Amino acid sequence: MSKKVIDQFDFLVIGSGLAGLNTALNLAESGKVAVVTKRCAEECNTKYAQGGVACVIDHDDSFDEHVRDTLEAGAGLCNEAAVRTIVEAGPDAIHSLIGHGAHFTTRGELGDEEHKDDFHLGREGGHHRRRVLHSGDVTGNEIENILISAARNNSNITFFENHISVDLITTKRLGWLGEDRCMGAYVLDSASHEVITFMTKATVVATGGCGKVYLYTSNSEVACGGGVAMCYRANLPIANMEFFQFHPTILYDFNIHSFLISEAVRGEGAVLKRKTSNGNLVEFMDKYHSMGSLAPRDITARAIDSEMKRYGQECMYLDIRHVSEQELKNRFPNIFQKCLDSGINMSKDLIPVVPAAHYSCGGVKTDVKGFTGINGLYAVGEVACTGLHGANRLASNSLLEALVVARLAADDIKSKFDALKQDYPAGKTPEWSSGNATDSDELVVISHNWDEIRRFMWDYVGIVRTTKRLERAKTRIKNIRKEIEKYYWDFLLTPDLVELRNIACTAEIIIDSALMRKESRGLHYNADYDYTDPGLAQSDTIVQKPYLQ
């Protein structure tokens, strides 16, 4: 039984990507913030975002057009009010980021002397205009570094790195009467294996995505669905988890299998092609969508998957050989170098690509301020489902959402801070109870279970689904979850075990959500229901653990 309690912070932020750090920086204006993060603070999905931040900047663009592209990509499932709030807050959010020192590429940097002070705007799938602000092709990394340094220099923010949150502390789960209230979280110190009880007036879950639930993914090692799983166990509604976005163009290289070739490359004119058996190249995207290679992501990933299966090919190709080496190096320095490391010169060679798991459009259901419905508990960023993305996220809308919703969440918490202090349950410290923890050789089972889940999720719950495959996945995940609960309670708590438990829980929620949606829409395609049911537009899939009576 651990006795360590940390109660000197006002706010707990779980996760250190863009959403978490932006919330922490805003909250730090009103109190002391603890930021708990699984590895070093820099490791998160934000760091790998290449494309940029979608935002209405160009005079010829308009909020209405950005809203329209978002709704179109979202395939009838977006919350239009949330979309409008986030899109319209974009320019202010960008300016605050620039205030922290973020740099976005200008047209001058790419050789356009006439408009040298204007931002260079990229274009990605589903956008009818150029509207993506970017920092070269490493936008997420630039933003992450700027915010980390601002947070590390803020005396009201303390990082707890190599600490992994295990569960949220909510009063109803503890069996207490009255309205449900979040009191903080149990957090495992990865080095000492001690579980610490964090007691805070407000808790913000900003744990990012869950791409590691799939065998092939563009995501960071830390993206294990921890936030969704913890919020599910805290009885919160989890929405639309069947809508998992597969990025169409991951570099096909035996050694990497996770490196993105940004959609912005297609925005600068790259075309998707298939090689025929006699070595000719065929463009195929016009068959699938009027925007061709710049179609929304769901359509592009499914088209690639279909061409690969139909013609028995291991990959498709991006062709941008019409752009000069110098221009490619200026616009995509990181991608150019990564391709070169794999023996591909983008200006001379085709780039082999395959789809891989990239972004969770569903998540913990919240309003546009990140409020979950449980007093004192918020979720922001990829872990949350505000209704912005609907059934398919428009490219580069996620960094925008993380920026805007983080600030709205912090403002909401600050406005309720007095009430949150007053109604905080006094005098009770609910300590973590770890069962009969002992070490065990059996922990080898963990890595086996982990591999098994990721493989059957890829095979059975991927880009194209059938009810039979989903049911097969459901049977397997039920067995694995039973095993995990046994190991979880019987053996020593380790970070691997916490992550496995979260991956398994998130996988089951994805499977259940996919089984519940009896149509095909956006990213969810079930060959047994290969049509969109107009009656299910605006109808969220909700998975929620019932409260014990």
Tell the smallest beta-carbon distance from residue 58 to ligand SIN (Å).
18
Cβ proximity to ligand SIN, 15 vs 211, nearer residue:
211
Angle at 283 between CA 282 and CA 285, to 5 degrees: 140
Comparing C-alpha atoms, which of 307, 216, 308, 294 is closest to residue 262?
294
Among 85, 396, 434, 449, binds ligand SIN (CB under 6 A): 396
203 binds ligand SIN (CB under 6 A): no
Beta strands in 46-116 (DSSP E): 53-54
Per CB under 6 A, the segment of 49-57, 181-189, 412-420, 541-549 that binds ligand SIN is 49-57
Tell the smallest beta-carbon distance from residue 51 to ligand SIN (Å).
3
DSSP tag of 525: -
Cβ proximity to ligand SIN, 22 vs 396, nearer residue:
396
356 binds ligand SIN (CB under 6 A): no
395 binds ligand SIN (CB under 6 A): yes
In the residue annotation, 393 being an active-site residue is answered as no
51 binds ligand SIN (CB under 6 A): yes
Among 55, 260, 351, 404, binds ligand SIN (CB under 6 A): 260
Please tell me the distance from the alpha carbon of residue 347 to that of residue 335, in angstroms, as a whole number: 12
Among 263, 305, 382, 508, binds ligand SIN (CB under 6 A): 263
At 334 the three-state DSSP class reads helix
Cβ proximity to ligand SIN, 87 vs 413, nearer residue:
87
Per CB under 6 A, the segment of 98-106, 108-116, 259-267, 319-327 that binds ligand SIN is 259-267
β-sheet bridge partners, residue 385: 365
Please tell me the distance from the alpha carbon of residue 302 to that of residue 514, in angstroms, as a whole number: 16
Tell the smallest beta-carbon distance from residue 133 to ligand SIN (Å).
12
Tell the smallest beta-carbon distance from residue 11 to ligand SIN (Å).
28
Per CB under 6 A, the segment of 45-53, 185-193, 363-371, 510-518 that binds ligand SIN is 45-53
Among 258, 360, 398, 541, binds ligand SIN (CB under 6 A): 398
Tell the smallest beta-carbon distance from residue 231 to ligand SIN (Å).
23
Please tell me the distance from the alpha carbon of residue 282 to that of residue 541, in angstroms, as a whole number: 39
Tell the smallest beta-carbon distance from residue 359 to ligand SIN (Å).
6
Per CB under 6 A, the segment of 36-44, 255-263, 400-408, 430-438 that binds ligand SIN is 255-263
Residue from 297, 393, 469, 481 carrying the catalytic annotation = 297
Please tell me the distance from the alpha carbon of residue 170 to that of residue 424, in angstroms, as a whole number: 11
Among 16, 45, 46, 50, binds ligand SIN (CB under 6 A): 50
User: For residue 515, which amino acid is it?
Assistant: L
Tell the smallest beta-carbon distance from residue 69 to ligand SIN (Å).
13
Site size for ligand SIN (CB under 6 A): 11
Cβ proximity to ligand SIN, 69 vs 263, nearer residue:
263
Comparing C-alpha atoms, which of 450, 449, 476, 446 is closest to residue 461?
476
Q: Between β-strands 33-36 and 11-14, what pairing exists: parallel, antiparallel or unpaired?
A: parallel
β-sheet bridge partners, residue 5: 197
β-sheet bridge partners, residue 159: 35
55 binds ligand SIN (CB under 6 A): no
Look at the alpha carbons of 186, 189, 193, 194 in this order and tell me if their dihedral is positive or negative. Answer: negative
Residue 368, φ and ψ in degrees, nearest 5: -75, -10
Tell the smallest beta-carbon distance from residue 206 to ligand SIN (Å).
18
What is the rounded (10 degree) CA torsion for 393, 398, 404, 406?
A: 120
Angle at 495 between CA 490 and CA 499, to 5 degrees: 90
Angle at 179 between CA 173 and CA 184, to 5 degrees: 50
Per CB under 6 A, the segment of 46-54, 55-63, 103-111, 499-507 that binds ligand SIN is 46-54
300 binds ligand SIN (CB under 6 A): no
User: Would you state the structure tokens that stand for residue 56, as one six-digit string?
Assistant: 């209405």
Residue 192: Cβ-neighbour burial (10 angstroms; 0-12, 13-18, 19+): exposed
β-sheet bridge partners, residue 542: 239
Please tell me the distance from the alpha carbon of residue 520 to that of residue 95, in angstroms, as a whole number: 39
Tell the smallest beta-carbon distance from residue 360 to ligand SIN (Å).
12
262 binds ligand SIN (CB under 6 A): yes
Q: Between β-strands 377-379 and 244-251, what pairing exists: parallel, antiparallel or unpaired?
A: unpaired
* Per-position x/- string for 97-126, each x denoting binding to ligand SIN as judged by CB under 6 A, each - no binding: ------------------------------
Residues in contact with ligand SIN by the rule CB under 6 A: 49-51, 260, 262-264, 359, 395-396, 398
- Residues belonging to the active site: 297
